[in-house]
Structure formats: C-alpha cells, structure tokens
Amino acid sequence: MLSSHPVCAQLPKAAASSSPAEAQLPEEPPDPLGRATPRGAVLGFLTSAYENNFDTAAQYLNTRLRGKDAATLAEQLLAVLDRKLPPKLNNISNDPQGSMSDPLDPRRELIGSVAAEDGKVDIYLERVDRPKSTPIWLFSRQTLTNIPDLYNEIKSASQERVLPEFFWRRYLGFSVFGWVFFVSLPLLYLLLGVVHKFLVFAWKYGQRRWPKLPDKPNLQAWLPPIRLLILSLAIHATLARFSTSLVARQVGSITQTLILIVGLVWLAILVNRRFEDFLKKRMERQGRLGSTAILRPARAMVDAIAAIIGLIFALHSFGINPSAFLAGLGVGGIAIALAAQKTLENVIGGASLILDEAVRVGDSFKIGDIVGTVEAVGLRSTRVRTLDRTLVTIPNGQMATMTLENYSARDNFWLRHLVGLGYDTQPSNLNAVLAAVRDLLGQDSRVLPASVRVRFLRFSESSLDLEVFAYVLARDWNHFLEIQEDLLMQIREVIATNGAEIAYPVRTIHVKTDRKPEDLPAPQNVTAGEDGFLT
C-alpha cells in the first residue's frame, strides 16, 4: 500500500498538426520516480526515505540545495511527516493535474497540516514544469522553509517519550513499538473472546437462576460486534497516545476504520433484527397478523442499506472515490426498476394493502366480479378462495387501483324486507301489524333499537307493502342468517295474530265487449276431473 510505483503521467493528446513529422513524435516517457501525481510523489518520497536513501528522497524536494544539504533536509522532512502529518495519504489526489482544490493556484496541492508552536503549518506540493519533459510534483519551497524549525521542535520534544528509544527504532517502515502493537491486536481480540465467554456464561446462569426475568436479547449474538468496537477504540487510543511513524499511523488508521465500519454495520443489523421481533410481537398482540408480512422484506432492505453505507465508507478510507460506485448503482437501480416495473408495482401495492390493512387473511370481500375469502396476502399478489372453491391470484398492483368491498369489516348486518298484505286487510288490522312488528324488533336485544323502521310503504299491484328495516348485531354472516330466520318467523306470527294475511300475487283482467249482459252465456262452474283437466 505504501510502496512507491512509477505512475505514468496521463498527458493530453497532442493537438492535430499540419506537419507529419510533429504528428509522429514519440510520447514522453513517464517519470521514473513516480512524481507525475501528488500521491505518487509523496509515496515515492516515503519509500526512499524509509530505505535511508535520502539522496534519492531529495529528488522529491523543490530546493536549490544539493548533495549532503539536500539529503539532510529530506531526512528532516521525513521526521516531520512521521511525527505530525495526519494519516490521510489515501486522500491525496492521484490525478496528474492534482485535485485543483484551490482555483486561485491549481498548481499547488495541500496534503495536510502539521501542528507547531506558532500554529498549524500547511504541507504543500507544487507542480513543476520541466523543459522537453512531463511536469512533476515536488514538495514546495514554501513548505521546505519551515521544515528546519519544525524538526527542531520535534527533536526537543523527543525526550518526552514514555517508552525507551529502542521502541522507536524503525524496521521496514515500522518502529518496534508499531510491530509490537499490531502483533498484539489479535491477542487483544482473543482476550476479549475469553471475556465474551465469561459474560455469556454469567448471563445464562442468571437466566437459570431467575427464570421470571423478562425476555432479553441473546448476549451470544450481541457481544461479537461490541468486541470489534472495543478493538477499534483501543487502536484509536494507542495512536493518539504514542507518536508512531506515518506509515504505522496510516495502517493503524485504515485498520481502525475498517474494524469500526464492520462493527457498526454488524451492530446495526442486530438492532434491526431485534426491532423486527419487537414490531412482530406488538402486531400479533394487536391482531394485525397480515401486517407482519411486510417486516421481513423491510428488514432486508434496511440491512442492505446499512451494508452499502458501510461499503461506501470503506472505499473512502482506501482513497477510492465512491461517486462512480454510487453513479453505477443509481444507473443499475434505474435499469432494474424499468425491467421489473410491474413487479415493483405489485410489491408497492402489496405493502400499501398490508400497512393500510384493507384486507386480512380470512376476510370475505368483493373486488370486481370476484367474491371470496382471503387465504394469503403477499407482497406480490393476494390469493382468494371463491364461492366456487376455486383459488384466484390477484396482483396487488391491480387490487390497489380497484374498488374493494370488505364484507368482514362491517360492524352490523342489514335486515330489510318488503312484506305484502292483502288488499282486504282492514286499516285497524294494518295499524296493529305495524305497531306489533315495531315492538317485536325494538325489544329484541339482537337488533339496534335506533335503527328500527317499520312503515307502510306503498300500494303495490296486489298487496299493501310494509317495509321492515333494522340493523342486526351478529358475529358473522351465518349468525345473521340465523337471527333473520327467527325474526321473520316471529313477524309471520304477528301478522296472523292481528287478523291479516300475506298477500298472494293477484291480477284482475277486465274484458270490454259490445254485447249486452243478457246476451252473454250463463256462467258455469269449472271443476277438475279425475284426470286433472278442467271441465
């Protein structure tokens, strides 16, 4: 990661020329020291300096000093960067043009700031043009003028180190302390594992000792991510307490960030699972069993979002710009959304049905020409058992746009009948029937008293029509039919008791003729013979 590799400068193509000789000029060779980009210049300097090759390291400095003086300045610069530069090497631009963060001076690149007694000192690179060669990036002259003073401050403060000088000797870019620390990280994790097992044992013992304790989360699943967070915190505290080399701090910072990201994502997934269990139990207590179907897909979506966010931060910690990744993810998401438009429509429709609780499993409803009972409500479709005992699968996107009549959601059942009495019914008998039916319905505990309405409605062709209207309290449709049957039987008895009869359909035909009544034949009795024919 921190080794220097020659980086080919990405130069713009030569403009078209009218001269064929100019068009065939060979491309400029890359800088052999990898100074074509700001990151390549910094890593190349660190690699040469850590190998104690300060003569080569001096080639990364924009200074007039030569020979031993330039090498001494390079050594001082390494000491300053090692002790005080923030470990953000991956954030340095790897573009030959630089990041151009300062529009007033785009040829200058800020790689960080170091603390000094008089305040912060910025460390800059500057782009230097060379005759007949590609531009290169070097540590700026302005920065190099401050290096001797910063080096003297570091030298005077070196006596304040807690550990002996032996621990700060460098091998392969790492001090002895750095090697000891990174080797001890796995040991620390194993030690936390021992503590983990002890806590789990104590937790299970407490659950056996006090069985009446309320349900608590599984400690076995919760402790591993907490171990990672503790390990990340230990790395951060060590890097802040001890002055290690820039390479060690860079590796430690990346390691700490990755462990922290993994621990937080892991913990977020566990919290999300616990939250799903909480919502599921709450919905089951409320009787909203159908709504629990949305919890598992919602949990998977939240887990995916947490993993993507963790991946973005991990890419950023390695100095990779996640913009291209997000752009590709957005384009891919749009393509998937267009390809699965109907599926997404059904999923969204199913989520709205479940959350709105428009239908539940076991409900009887009517949608379009389909009447039946709901057997399952999924994210993509709803399965309905019809009255013919067939199974119909309806896409949720279609259900979300249609009118749905839920029979099971009604609070009362509607009792309404037209009862026809014969035209020979006397007015007193008609009034008595009306009053008796009103009393019958009003005194029945299964009928809502405020909804009772019994009225003489109209003169029909062959009957005097009475309207019987009321709302009945019933558990379900079968219970309503049972109550309705009993009420209709009692109404029939009331009609018979009050001297009235239910009318039969009667039609009177008047025949108009020019013949006189005395010329008409005498009426004869019509009887039925033994064979059933009229005679």
Q: Say whether both 448 and 351 belong to one domain.
A: no
Residue 506 domain-assigned? Answer: no
Q: Say whether both 332 and 380 belong to one domain.
A: no
Q: Kindly state the tokens that stand for 509.
A: 């035909």
Q: Say whether both 153 and 33 belong to one domain.
A: yes
What local confidence, expressed as pLDDT, does residue 276 receive? 85
Residue 528 domain-assigned? Answer: no
Q: Say whether both 63 and 141 belong to one domain.
A: yes
Q: Report the Cα–Cα distance between both ends of the chain, in Å, rounded.
A: 119
Q: Say whether both 305 and 443 belong to one domain.
A: no
One-letter amino acid identity for 312?
Answer: I
* CA 526 to each of CA 144, 416, 520: distance values in angstroms, whole numbers, following the listed order: 136, 41, 17
Residue 319 domain-assigned? Answer: yes
CATH number for 374:
2.30.30.60
Interhelix angle 477-497/427-443, rounded to 10 degrees, is 150
Q: Say whether both 141 and 57 belong to one domain.
A: yes
Q: How many domains does the chain have?
A: 4
Residue 13 domain-assigned? Answer: no
Task: Judge whether 407 and 367 are in contact, CB under 8 Å.
Answer: no
Q: Say whether both 470 and 355 belong to one domain.
A: no
pTM of the shown model: 0.57
Q: Say whether both 185 and 319 belong to one domain.
A: yes
Report the alpha-carbon angle 297-300-303, nearest 5.
Answer: 150
Strands in 391-395's sheet, in edge-to-edge order, are 391-395, 381-386, 370-377, 364-367, 404-406
What local confidence, expressed as pLDDT, does residue 3 receive? 39
Which of 160, 186, 208 is the last residue in one of the domains? Answer: 160
Q: Say whether both 100 and 245 belong to one domain.
A: no
pLDDT single digits (tens) 156-179 = 665 445 555 555 566 555 566 666
Task: Judge whether 317 and 258 are in contact, CB under 8 Å.
Answer: yes
Instruction: Quote the DSSP letter at residue 505.
Output: P
Residue 146 domain-assigned? Answer: yes
Residue 531 domain-assigned? Answer: no
Residues whose CB is less than 8 angstroms from the CB of residue 499 and which lie 6 or more positions away in sequence, other chains included? 425, 426, 429, 432
pLDDT single digits (tens) 455-496 = 999 998 889 999 999 999 988 888 899 999 999 999 999 999
Q: Say whether both 316 and 399 belong to one domain.
A: no
- Rounded Cα–Cα distance for residues 439 and 446 (Å): 13
What local confidence, expressed as pLDDT, does residue 384 receive? 87
Interhelix angle 68-84/38-50, rounded to 10 degrees, is 100
- Rounded Cα–Cα distance for residues 230 and 249 (Å): 18
Which of 389, 406, 423 is the last residue in one of the domains? Answer: 406
Which parts of the chain register pLDDT below 70?
Answer: 1-29, 156-182, 203, 205-222, 242-244, 287-293, 319, 321, 324-358, 379, 508, 510, 513-535
Q: Kindly state the tokens that stand for 125.
A: 């690179």
Residue 47 domain-assigned? Answer: yes
Which of 406, 427, 455 is the last residue in one of the domains? Answer: 406
The closest of 455, 287, 439 to 363, measured between CA atoms, is 287
Residue 15 domain-assigned? Answer: no
What local confidence, expressed as pLDDT, does residue 483 receive? 93
Q: Say whether both 82 and 153 belong to one domain.
A: yes
What local confidence, expressed as pLDDT, does residue 209 receive? 67
CATH number for 448:
3.30.70.100
Q: Say whether both 48 and 134 belong to one domain.
A: yes
The closest of 460, 465, 483, 461 to 418, measured between CA atoms, is 465
Domain span at 493: 413-497
The closest of 421, 414, 424 to 469, measured between CA atoms, is 414
